[in-house]
Structure formats: structure tokens, C-alpha cells
Amino acid sequence: MAANSFGTLFRFTTWGESHGPAIGVVVDGVPPRLPLSESDIQPWLDRRRPGQSRFTTQRREEDLVRILSGTFEGHTTGTPIQLLIENTDQRSKDYRNIADRFRPGHADYTYWKKYGIRDYRGGGRASARETASRVAAGAVARQILGPGIAIRGALVRVGPHAIDRALWDWRQVAENPFWCPDAATAPRWADYIDEVRKAGSSTGAVIEIVASGVPPGLGEPIYDKLDGDLARALMTINAVKGVEIGAGFAAAGLRGEENADEMRMAEGEPVLLWNNAGGILGGISTGQDIVVRFAVKPTSSIPKPLRTIDAEGEEVEIATHGRHDPCVGIRAVPVGEAMVACVLADHLLRHRALVGT
Amino acid sequence: MAANSFGTLFRFTTWGESHGPAIGVVVDGVPPRLPLSESDIQPWLDRRRPGQSRFTTQRREEDLVRILSGTFEGHTTGTPIQLLIENTDQRSKDYRNIADRFRPGHADYTYWKKYGIRDYRGGGRASARETASRVAAGAVARQILGPGIAIRGALVRVGPHAIDRALWDWRQVAENPFWCPDAATAPRWADYIDEVRKAGSSTGAVIEIVASGVPPGLGEPIYDKLDGDLARALMTINAVKGVEIGAGFAAAGLRGEENADEMRMAEGEPVLLWNNAGGILGGISTGQDIVVRFAVKPTSSIPKPLRTIDAEGEEVEIATHGRHDPCVGIRAVPVGEAMVACVLADHLLRHRALVGT
Amino acid sequence: MAANSFGTLFRFTTWGESHGPAIGVVVDGVPPRLPLSESDIQPWLDRRRPGQSRFTTQRREEDLVRILSGTFEGHTTGTPIQLLIENTDQRSKDYRNIADRFRPGHADYTYWKKYGIRDYRGGGRASARETASRVAAGAVARQILGPGIAIRGALVRVGPHAIDRALWDWRQVAENPFWCPDAATAPRWADYIDEVRKAGSSTGAVIEIVASGVPPGLGEPIYDKLDGDLARALMTINAVKGVEIGAGFAAAGLRGEENADEMRMAEGEPVLLWNNAGGILGGISTGQDIVVRFAVKPTSSIPKPLRTIDAEGEEVEIATHGRHDPCVGIRAVPVGEAMVACVLADHLLRHRALVGT
Amino acid sequence: MAANSFGTLFRFTTWGESHGPAIGVVVDGVPPRLPLSESDIQPWLDRRRPGQSRFTTQRREEDLVRILSGTFEGHTTGTPIQLLIENTDQRSKDYRNIADRFRPGHADYTYWKKYGIRDYRGGGRASARETASRVAAGAVARQILGPGIAIRGALVRVGPHAIDRALWDWRQVAENPFWCPDAATAPRWADYIDEVRKAGSSTGAVIEIVASGVPPGLGEPIYDKLDGDLARALMTINAVKGVEIGAGFAAAGLRGEENADEMRMAEGEPVLLWNNAGGILGGISTGQDIVVRFAVKPTSSIPKPLRTIDAEGEEVEIATHGRHDPCVGIRAVPVGEAMVACVLADHLLRHRALVGT
């Protein structure tokens, strides 16, 4: 069980609520003698940090990480690594009005039905704040993967507006507040998100993560297939409603010869043309780029009034003010990268166990 | 690990290759005193069985299941249940020509890279034949869920042809060889699949599974969310490239008030309007129908010649004759149902452990 | 994996080194709505706390526990519970002299061989300090078990001196610094431990844990038998070299009719006479007292000089001064109780999942 | 969960009842390209096979193993290996008289209390017949360990009669029906077992398993310590009531300097003198021989009448005739070896994952 744990050999366990004293993650199964200090983790957390533009929540969290265990003189020791992040900017009074009524599209109702008790402050455990712990774990995973494996994410759609893939330029991703790889689309997203925000609403988005340099052979058929683990990893991120690999849902519309990646040799190495497979066949990496996408629904907590019920079963209205992301998909980009890193680190270790390299 | 196992409390382990003497599954964690005999399992296997129409592979397998353990006088005893299915119609010589060359879009290459050895006969372990074991496990899961929970699947798209959802009629599903819920679309699929088959090609498809009667509260945040487990369950089925829940990828195009299911009372029970959530919020079931869809790529083994390489790295051509499904998505319907049943049975037991009902 | 985790449904993960900033434990799988605050945990930690008599280490740790997550208004919420204990009395300079040489009987050598790096300060992760986290987890387990199940431990042997079982009186356990249930033996142990301590040596011990009120039916054959899990739980405590259940090793000397607990009815309930089984048959609890014993070796870190080698393979001598327990078995009593509590809580939840009560 | 599974990376799942059509085991996590055919497994099964002398049960089972999956052309492929053993000599009518009454010291009562249903024929799932599956899994484990690691077992005590350790000669083990390493003791055991058998009784025993050639570094602190996993592995064998490592319970009687293995160099390699640690320190192998012992209680099913109760709670008598081992400890020797092999194979893979060699 351990529903708050993820991974098999490289395995992390997160804990903490949005408005508790702290959140954190224990990372177990990390090989010894890898360099690791706070400065290896903090930059990744900074990318996810709220309050960096008007397009994300205005909650101000430093998200400073502290390593409490598992390292010695700047290196991992093979023992569990506890990473702790204090919560510093909770405003719990913002949430009093939602203590007894359920925000539509939010986990309020289901937590209450399941547990009969819930920490409603800031969404408690269901808050996207938990994803900071994932990003911290992902930073450790990247130390295992090493510099040869690059994991990068981008936003490829916001509401009705998709990027033009012909204009994809990874350098653009750092040049706008949306991780948008297409310079022409970024300003259109700015306008659209401003519009929905001012309308008291929110918007969904699609994120794409690409992992390059992954060697062939990672993944464990049948039930621990690399794509199965990636699907679970991404689907457990808050607000995600769909995951696809390579051609994804579009593959349903293709014919066999259009979809099956033909193989050729290039510089002595096998290449799968087109990469419709998204770098995975039979649950095992092919050596091509691993390409996954996931859909994030629009933020459920919006100022616009919605009809709902309360804990007594009365039909009421609710409008959520607080400080919320108008497009929660934006901050999901570094989270998606982190989850992909964790899945790959786990399978790298598993592969090494089985075949010894 | 145990990459060939699935589930936590209700947990099954499959084994067997396409052309070995038999395949099977051990199902562990089954509560005692449930009625279970071969007649509870065989009908589900019969639905997945090949060779039932010209739209599926002509391999002739009886797929007769035998219970070797775990029951006594027609009831489960709480001990592991071994279900065995003999392979009776292997024609291994069909596969000689693919022993040394890799079928594009198939697991041939990745198994070879990972393991350095592979049983190429009929795809070995990577064959869709493994899914018979899943269906058998799913039949046991249904005994745990009981008659109050109905899990039904349908094909909703074949290649470019989607159903008309306004015409959805569950009774139609049994009336055509495609599990098509829309009587008007079924004949169009027949024409389309005939066409691709005659052209030596194949087609992809989308399947939808609906689970009704699921009580609210099932699912374990954070990493064992119900939707995370469903995503992994379905993504591990052969040829699946995408999974979505409820509104799925379409949610990315919606605004907050369009997506968030408003709540009202109906006959004393909370109802989530629209069910864009697909019956799951925060990883926990809402009590509404659980709705998941998955995309299946076109069969990779096709008669049409494709360019590929062989084990020596030579560039060659390949044309796969054998007996293959022109639309592997058709037989994926009962498999998808089975996997959803297994996930739900597991979470039903987990929920009972945690909250005692 | 997750080698630092224990349990299946009730599952905890410990982290932290002896001389790091803190140690702690995440407890997952705890049912919601149980009362839990620091005052439910602290008393159990206080029993294990060092420095309470001249018979234990003089390290002065307050061992104050803080709950960082998983509770709301004094009750569990079903989310993971992080318990944190700061280290306040590390004197790392004491350990400089052992940084490069291996203490005989200690984990110094094996950690160095396995990991190639080790935090030698205070034994790092291998320190018995880790057991404080187990005691904290055990306190949570007791909240799950409820007041009907009592778990009590006693020291039954120190070096060559065993108790007289005919004089067993549970009330005596709190009346001496050894958890000795036999008032006549306690002063003899005081003399013996004083003697070995003054001689710069240490002594081994045997602990017995008794769990009363455990309902019949707990335990999962075959590999998760209740006794198997107890054996692992106790064997993983620092310095433990043997575990036995009921008659234990003495059963090897018995005949069938001497060992097999005959059954009679008493007040309408089945009773197993003699309880040689120690409350477990076929891996499942019988309803009688569960009785387990474990042997603790003498503390390896002693002032008396011993021959050893250093990291360069030179043969050297070592004498460990620092602040060590002359009989580490004494403080193992509350640790053993905690581990038994954790195993029982886990199996209580597992049993509920399987049979629904 | 998966209570019928054992191991983490090298992981096996057993199934089957004593009087069902077959028993078996699925072995998962086996590296590819290892030689494996029935002839690598059968000899180990033959050593455990019943009916080989008058000192074991007269049930006649061939125990012929068939590999149903996971190999190709005599080598492992990395896919799960199903090993099947048919039951050929069940005489279920022997057990009619125990269908409703509980044999003292047996799992009859606890299975009935837990599950409310049980296959009473031959002990069903609780039968020692299950251990044949363990031996089969152990044979696969030995292929992973390779010829450099030798795992050997011996009986060291039967009832009150212990061997003389000074006379230990491994070659003697194959020269008598008891795996006795001391030629002088074997005939005394023959007399003793004949006596208890004729008296309608049975006797307990102690088994010692020694693993030589195990490299230092295997084992995962804290909760997956090598000794913790060995303790669980051996305690789950039928009728085992105690497990100890190295000096074991005797360590409780020692002083620090007597117990702590001093270290010296021998031929350039570190040596731990005395090996009181039994080859394990801090849960990690030292490179010395791993030495474990376990105590087996006398067979509970004996012809001598015992007092018991029946399912209606009536006080009755029972005498078990059937075909039972007068000293079940004898056939536990190959089972203990197999479990040690499985634990070591698992940790070898885990170590390779973590540190890459």
C-alpha cells in the first residue's frame, strides 16, 4: 500500500498539508556517492514556485528545501533522504467559508465521503502544494539519471489555443511565463488567461514532456511497463484527466503502415522513424525520445459562483476567492518533468538489477 | 517488483507465452466464501476469444479455463487461485521468418535489446494472448464487486469513424461484432475494417468503459488514486497509447465553470451534474458513473511490407502474414472491462481496510 | 523495496542519522478519525529515552516529538503522519577516532563495504537512535489497536541470569530500571551490569513481548504469516540475533503430545492449553496471548580494547569510549513492544480488508 | 500484499492445495540468459520428496516439475517462470474424520476462524506440501547465485539429541537419511525417531543452514536487513517456531568482548574471527559464512489421541492416522536451503541495482 509512496527501487513518500507547518518527502533507494546538496534541488523548486507572474497564484512561498538526512559531506550515503519545506504563507481564514460546502470539481466532497473528516484549509492534503514534494524528489532522480538524460517540458495548449508545432524552439520555453515553446503563441495565451481570470474563471491546458538520451531497454513488462508507470505518474498529478504516449489518441485514427515506426540505421544505430511510439514499445524504451502528454482541467476553485451542496445536503452557492491559479496547467510543467524523472530513475535501477549494466 | 503482478490487496500475477504449453494467472487476496467455479469465468473469456468473426484473428483457441487451486466445493477459500488456459492452436512455423528481424511498431526490438534473448514465436510474452489471463482475473474481480456494480465497455471509434453518442444504446453492444453501441455506425465499421484488411493494413480504435454503481470513497490519494491506477491498468494493455477519464483531453479546452461538475440533490443523494470528472475527484470515486477511455493503435503486424532492420543491423523489409487482428481494439473491449473490474475490486478491499465498511 | 519502510497497509518509513539535525518517521495507512496528538506518543518515547539510569547511555536527548502532518483538530485524517524528533545532544567529536577504523561487531565495516561512504558520527543510520522512530510509529499503531489489545514487554534474561518465571509479576516491570518482572532478579542484574560496565564491557539480554486480547484470525498465510512478520520485525531491531515464538527453540526438544496445545472450552470460548504455539498456528492468531522473545547481543562499542582493521586494511586496536549502553537490551524492550504493535495493527487492517470485520 | 508471494526483485508466488490437482510457483524477476531446464530443478525436489525412508511420510509423490513458461531454448528470458507439480497420491478419504474437528497444534482451527471455510483434505493450503514449491523456486535462485555461492543445510538436533559440532563433516550429510553431519549421532537419531514413531508420537528438530561465498555488502538496512529477511523466510516454513543468526540466543549470555568478532587480515582479505555475527552485521553481509538456525516443532498430526474441540464447540478426542512425518524437521532441511537461496538471490539483485556491481 503506502498510498503516499511512489516507485519501486527509487521510491519516495510525500507528506504534509497545504496549511500545516511543513510539507516534505522521504526519498529512499538512492545509490550512494552521488553529489547532492540543497543547491541541486532548490532551482527545480524555484521553477514551480507560485507568485512568479500574474498568471499564477499570488500565494508567496519561498519553498526553501532543507536536507535533514541521507547525505554526508555533500554526497548521498544510500540512506533515506528527508527533504523538508516549511509552509510560510498560509492564510487559513480564507478557507473558513468553504469548511462546510463542497467546491465543484474539487476533492472536498470525496475526501469528506471517504474519511468523514478533512483539513479544509487550503485543500489540505488535496492541495497542489503537495507537488512541491514531487519536484524535490525529481531533483534527486535527476542526480541518478546524470547529465546524459535530459527531461524537458512545455505547455502545448491553453484552452482552445494550441501551439504551432512547426515553430517549436526549446529555448523559447524559458522566455515566457508559460513554458511555451512557440514564440508566436505565448502572447495569445497571455491575452486568453487574462481574459478568463478577469471573468472569474480559469482554463485547462495540455503539457508535453520529452525525455532525451534514455537508453533502450528500460521498462518491465507486463504490468510495470514504462508507459504504464508514466501514465500513473502523470495521472496522479492534481487536475490531470488524460495521458498519452507518442501519437496517443491520434493513433486510433491511423492505419498500420502510418503508425508503425519503420526502422533504419543512422550512424550505426537503429532509428525508429516518426517516433509515433513515443519512445516506448512493449512497455520498454526504444532509445528514441520519450514523448508524453497530459491534459490538465481548468482550476476548480474560481470566483464565479457555482451551484453546490453543503455537508448537510442543502443546495447552496459557492464562489471561491482565495489565491488560485487561473491556469493550473502552467505550474504543472515542472511537476510533470519531475514525475518523468522519477519513473526513469526507478526503471534505470530496476534494469540494472535485472541485466547488470 | 513483480512486474507481472497487478494490484495491492486483490493482486494477480500472469505468466505464459503465446506459443508455450499454457498461459495462466494466480489471483491472490480474494475474500473467502465467494461462489466461484469455471462457469463464472468462462463466459468472459468467450467474449475475448479470437476467431469469432472475420474482423478478428483466425487463430482458433478454445480458451478453456481450469481452476487449479483456491476453491473448495464451489467457493473461494481465501487462498491463491490458479487459473490455467492451455494453448492449443500455435503454429510456430508461421513465425520463423520474423525470428531475426524486428516488426515495426512491435516489441520485437525492445525485448531483444533488453533481454538479449526472446521467444519470437507468436510474440512470446508480448503477445496479446496474455490478455486472456487478465480477463480471467477480471471475472474473479467481478465476484468480489457483486451484482450491484456493472462494468460495461464499448468501442466508440474505429479509425476516422466515431459513433454518434446521441444514439448510444447499451443493448446494441451485443448485436454486432464490434461492441458498437450505435446501430448506425456498426455497418460503417464493417466496411472500413474490411477495406483495411484487404489492403493488408489495420486500424486503430478507441474504447470506452463505464462502471456504474461504484460507491463514493474508493481510491487512495496521493499516488494510488483511483484514476492513477486505472490509467496504469489500461496503459499496460497491448497497443494502448492513451487513457483519459471523464472529459479527458477535452477538459483542456474548457473553462472552470464549464468543467466543474456542479452539485445538486436528487432523491436525497448528491449528484454531480455533467460528470466531466468521470466519477473521480481527488483520486476518489464520487458515486457517479466512472467513465474511462483508451486509445489502441493499429495492429503492427500487417501483410503490407514495411522497412525495418534485423538483428545484425542490416536494413531489410518485412511483411507479417500469420493470423492477426485487423483491428486489435475490438478484442480490447473485454480486456479493458476486466482491468477496470480488477482496479475496483482492489480499491474496494483497500477502502474496507481503512474505514471498515 | 523501500528498505526503510515497514508494513503493508499500516506502513511507516523512518529516516535520519544519529548526528543529523533530526530523525523521524512517516506513518501511512492510518484510519481516519482516531484521536492522536503528541501526548499520545510522547509517553512511549519517554520510556525508551536514554539517560534515565546509570544502566543506559548518558546521552541526554529530550526526544520531543512533533506531529507535522496527518491530523486535524486532534484526530487522524487518513493522510500520512510525519513525526519529527530533533537531535539535540550529538557530540560528534567523540567519533573522530572511529572514522577510519571498524568497531568489531558493529555495522561500520559492512556499511563501508556496501556503500563506499558512511556517516560515522554516532553510527549514523546504523545507530540505535533510529529505534525512537519505531517507538513513535508504535504509539500510532496502539491507537489503531485500541484499549482492548495490551502489548507489554519485559526483560527475561541478562547475560547468564534468567528470571524465575514463577515469580512473574507485570507490576514489577515499572518498579526497576530493567523492565524486570521478577523482583528478586532485578537487584542481581544491577550488580551484574555494574560489574560489566566497570570492566569496560557489556552484556547481552533476552526480551519477551506479550500481546493480550488479540482476536483470532490475524495473519496471512503463507509468506505474510503473523509469526513471519513478527520475526522480521524484531530481527531488524539493532543487535538482535534470534527470535522465537511460544515454546520456540525448546519445541525442538518436545514430543508431539507435549507440544501440541490441546483444546478445551472455557466460558464458551475455545482455549488452547499451555499455549506452546505462542498464540499463532499456521501463521494466524489463535486468540490466546501472543508470546515472542528475542535475543540481543552485548553492545559492540565498549571501552575494552579490541583488535580490528582500518579502512586501509591495517591491523589496529580500537577502544570505544563515547556514551554507550552497557546492556542495549534494556532499551530494546519498548522498541520490541512498538514493533509488535505495528505488526498487529497492519494485520488488523489486512484482516478487515479480506473478511470485512 | 500478495501474501503468497515472497521477495522483492527475485519474487515468487506459490499456489495450490495438498489434495488439489496440482501445486506450483510463478517465479518473477529472474535475469535473462541463465541456463534453466527441468533438470536444474528436479534434483532439488528429489531431496525433499516424501517416502524416501521410514523416517518420513509414506505418501508417494513423484514431484515431477514442468516448466510452463519463461524459458526459451533452455535459457531464461526474463519473463515469469511457471513451475507446475501435479499431485498424484492424494487419499482424501483419510481426512474425512478431521473435517469437523481441529487437530491440536495444527492450522485447522485458525483457518476455520479466519476464513469460515477450509479445504481440510490433507491440510489444504496449510500442508507442508506447499514447501515443494519453495524448493523449486530455490533451484531457480541457485541459478542466479551461480556456483560461487554454496548453500548447505544439516540437521543439528533431534528432540533432546544434539550433534557433536567437533565432528561436523559435510560429506556425512548425504550418507544418512537425516542430513546429519556427525556420523556418530545419526544412528542415535534413527533409534530415537523409531521410538517416537512407534509410540504414536513425533519429535522436533533444529536445522542449520550455511551459505558460503556470499560477497560482503548484501542486505538493505533498516527494515530489509538480510537477517530480517532470512528470519521471515525461515519462520514462514511450516512448523518453525524460532530462528537465530550466528551465535543467536547464546549471544545473550556473552560479554561484549566475547561476542564482537575481532577483525584481522588473512591473505589480503578482512576476516571476522569467530563469526558470532553469523556473517551479518547491521543487516549487511560481512563476507564470512552466513549461518542461520531454525527450530521445528514436532509434527502435530500424531496417532496418539489428543483432546480437542469440534466446529460446534464440543469437546472431543482426535487421533490422526494418515501418513505423516514423525520428524517434519528432516524434510525441512532442503526447504530451509531453498529459502536462504531465494533471500540471497533477491538481495544480490537489489545490491546490483543500488551500487551497480
Gap between the Cα atoms of C32 and D262, Å rounded: 50
Q: What is the reported pLDDT for C1?
A: 53
Distance to chain D for C73, nearest Cα, Å: 32
In this complex, which of C105, C115, C256 lies closest to D299 when CB atoms are compared? C256
User: Which residue matches cell numbers 492445495?
Assistant: D17
Gap between the Cα atoms of A187 and A181, Å rounded: 12
Do the chains contact at D224 and C1, CB–CB below 8 Å?
yes
Distance to chain A for B103, nearest Cα, Å: 8
pLDDT digit string, tens, across residues A199-209: 999 999 999 99
Distance to chain B for D95, nearest Cα, Å: 15
pLDDT digit string, tens, across residues A153-164: 999 999 999 999
Do the chains contact at B22 and D68, CB–CB below 8 Å?
yes
DSSP secondary structure of A174-215: GGSTT--S-TTTHHHHHHHHHHHHHTT--B-EEEEEEEESPP
What is the pTM (predicted TM-score) of this model? 0.97
Interface check for A355 against chain D (CB to CB < 8 A): the answer is yes
Which chains pack against A, by 3+ Cβ pairs within 8 A?
B, C, D
In this complex, which of B104, B157, B222 lies closest to A3 when CB atoms are compared? B222
Interface check for B80 against chain D (CB to CB < 8 A): the answer is yes
Contacts of D355 in chain A (CB under 8 A): 31-32, 78
pLDDT tops 90 at residue A356: no
Do the chains contact at C354 and B79, CB–CB below 8 Å?
no
Q: How many CA atoms lie within 13 A of A147 on its CB side?
A: 2
Gap between the Cα atoms of C54 and C70, Å rounded: 37
Do the chains contact at A2 and C4, CB–CB below 8 Å?
no
pLDDT tops 90 at residue B98: no
Gap between the Cα atoms of B175 and B183, Å rounded: 8
| ipTM of the complex in this document | 0.97
Do the chains contact at C355 and B79, CB–CB below 8 Å?
no
Do the chains contact at C355 and B32, CB–CB below 8 Å?
yes
Interface check for A103 against chain B (CB to CB < 8 A): the answer is yes
Q: What is the reported pLDDT for C2?
A: 80
User: Which residue matches cell numbers 486510433?
Assistant: A252
Mean pLDDT on A16-23: 96
Interface check for C285 against chain A (CB to CB < 8 A): the answer is no
Average the pLDDT over each of A55-59, C171-175, C181-185 and give the range with the smallest value: A55-59
Among chain D residues, the shortest Cα distance to A1 is held by: D1
Interface check for C138 against chain D (CB to CB < 8 A): the answer is no
Do the chains contact at C196 and D105, CB–CB below 8 Å?
no
For residue A172, count other CB atoms closer than 10 A to its CB. 20
Gap between the Cα atoms of A291 and A275, Å rounded: 9
Contact in structure between C338 and C44 (CB atoms under 8 Å): yes
CB pairs under 8 A between B and C: 38
Among chain C residues, the shortest Cα distance to B144 is held by: C354
Interface check for A279 against chain C (CB to CB < 8 A): the answer is no
Distance to chain A for D345, nearest Cα, Å: 11
Mean pLDDT on B17-41: 97
The CA-based diameter of chain A, rounded to the nearest angstrom, is 69
Mean pLDDT on A28-51: 94
- Nearest in space to D254 (alpha carbons), one of D228, D279, D286, D276: D276
Interface check for C166 against chain B (CB to CB < 8 A): the answer is no
What residues of chain C, 291 to 310, have a C-beta less than 8 Å from chain D? Answer: 295-300, 302, 304, 306-309
In this complex, which of A228, A247, A256 lies closest to B232 when CB atoms are compared? A228
Contacts of B355 in chain C (CB under 8 A): 31-32, 78
CA distances from B24 to A130, B6, B84, B235 (A): 40, 14, 4, 21
In this complex, which of B15, B76, B116 lies closest to D69 when CB atoms are compared? B15
Among chain B residues, the shortest Cα distance to C222 is held by: B79
CB pairs under 8 A between A and B: 384
Mean pLDDT on C155-165: 98
Residues 6+ apart with CB under 8 A from C217: C284, C285, C351, C355, D110, D113, D114
CB pairs under 8 A between A and D: 38
In this complex, which of C32, C221, C352 lies closest to B353 when CB atoms are compared? C352
Q: What is the reported pLDDT for A93?
A: 67
For residue C323, count other CB atoms closer than 10 A to its CB. 16
pLDDT tops 70 at residue B93: no
pLDDT digit string, tens, across residues B256-290: 999 999 999 999 999 999 999 999 999 999 999 99
Share of chain A above pLDDT 90, in %: 88
Do the chains contact at C109 and D286, CB–CB below 8 Å?
yes
Q: How far is CA A308 from the centre of its chain?
A: 29
Q: What is the reported pLDDT for D95?
A: 66
Q: What is the reported pLDDT for C253?
A: 97
| Banded model confidence at residue B204, pLDDT cuts 50, 70, 90 | very high
If one compares B96 and A302, the residue with the highest pLDDT of the two is: A302
Gap between the Cα atoms of D127 and B95, Å rounded: 44
pLDDT tops 70 at residue C341: yes
Distance to chain D for C23, nearest Cα, Å: 14
> What cell numbers appear for C180 in the block?
524486570
What residues of chain D, 227 to 256, have a C-beta less than 8 Å from chain C? Answer: 227-236, 240-256
Average the pLDDT over each of A273-287, B19-33, B48-62, C220-234 and give the range with the smallest value: B48-62
Tell me, letter by letter, the H, E, C secondary structure of chain C: CCCCEECCCCEEEEEECCCCCEEEEEEECCCCCCECCHHHHHHHHHHHCCCCCCCCCCCCCCCCEEECCCEECCEECCCCEEEEEECCCCCHHHHHHHCCECCCCCCHHHHHHHHCCCCCHHHHHHCHHHHHHHHHHHHHHHHHHCCCCEEEEEEEEECCEECCHHHCCHHHHHHCCCCCCCCCCHHHHHHHHHHHHHCCCCECEEEEEEEECCCCCCCECCCECHHHHHHHHHHCCCCEEEEEECCHHHHHHCEHHHHCCCEEEECCEEEECCCCCCCEECCEECCCCEEEEEEECCCCCCCCCEEEEECCCCEEEECCCCCCCCCHHHHHHHHHHHHHHHHHHHHHHHHHHHHCC
| Banded model confidence at residue A68, pLDDT cuts 50, 70, 90 | very high
Do the chains contact at B353 and C350, CB–CB below 8 Å?
yes
Q: What is the reported pLDDT for A229?
A: 98
> Which amino acid, A307?
R
Do the chains contact at A77 and C21, CB–CB below 8 Å?
no
Do the chains contact at D77 and B125, CB–CB below 8 Å?
yes
User: How does pLDDT run along chain D (357 residues), one tens digit per residue?
Assistant: 589 999 999 999 999 999 999 999 999 999 999 999 999 999 999 998 877 788 877 777 789 999 999 999 999 999 999 999 999 877 766 666 778 899 999 999 999 999 999 999 888 999 999 999 999 999 999 999 999 999 999 999 999 999 999 999 999 999 999 999 999 999 999 999 999 999 999 999 999 999 999 999 999 999 999 999 999 999 999 999 999 999 999 999 999 999 999 999 999 999 999 999 999 999 999 999 999 999 999 999 899 999 999 999 999 999 988 777 899 999 999 999 999 999 999 999 999 999 986
Among chain D residues, the shortest Cα distance to C288 is held by: D110
> What cell numbers appear for A124 in the block?
489540505
Distance to chain B for D283, nearest Cα, Å: 21
Interface check for C9 against chain B (CB to CB < 8 A): the answer is yes
Distance to chain C for B354, nearest Cα, Å: 5
Q: What is the reported pLDDT for D325?
A: 85
CB pairs under 8 A between A and C: 152
Q: How many CA atoms lie within 13 A of D156 on its CB side?
A: 20
pLDDT digit string, tens, across residues C265-322: 999 999 999 999 999 999 999 999 999 999 999 999 899 999 999 999 999 999 988 7
Contacts of D285 in chain C (CB under 8 A): 110
pLDDT averaged over every residue in chain C: 94
Interface check for C284 against chain D (CB to CB < 8 A): the answer is yes
| Banded model confidence at residue C61, pLDDT cuts 50, 70, 90 | confident
Contacts of C138 in chain D (CB under 8 A): none
What residues of chain D, 32 to 51, have a C-beta less than 8 Å from chain B? Answer: 32-33
pLDDT tops 90 at residue B356: no
Gap between the Cα atoms of A108 and A118, Å rounded: 8
What residues of chain C, 181 to 210, have a C-beta less than 8 Å from chain B? Answer: none
Distance to chain C for D82, nearest Cα, Å: 18
> Which amino acid, D319?
A
Residue spans of alpha helices (H) in D126-225: 131-145, 186-198
Do the chains contact at B302 and A257, CB–CB below 8 Å?
yes
Do the chains contact at A313 and B113, CB–CB below 8 Å?
no
Q: What is the reported pLDDT for C318?
A: 94
Contact in structure between B319 and B301 (CB atoms under 8 Å): no
Contacts of C257 in chain D (CB under 8 A): 201, 302, 304, 306
Q: What is the reported pLDDT for B56?
A: 78
Dihedral sign from CA coordinates of B286, B288, B289, B294: negative
Interface check for D217 against chain B (CB to CB < 8 A): the answer is no
Q: What is the reported pLDDT for D93?
A: 66
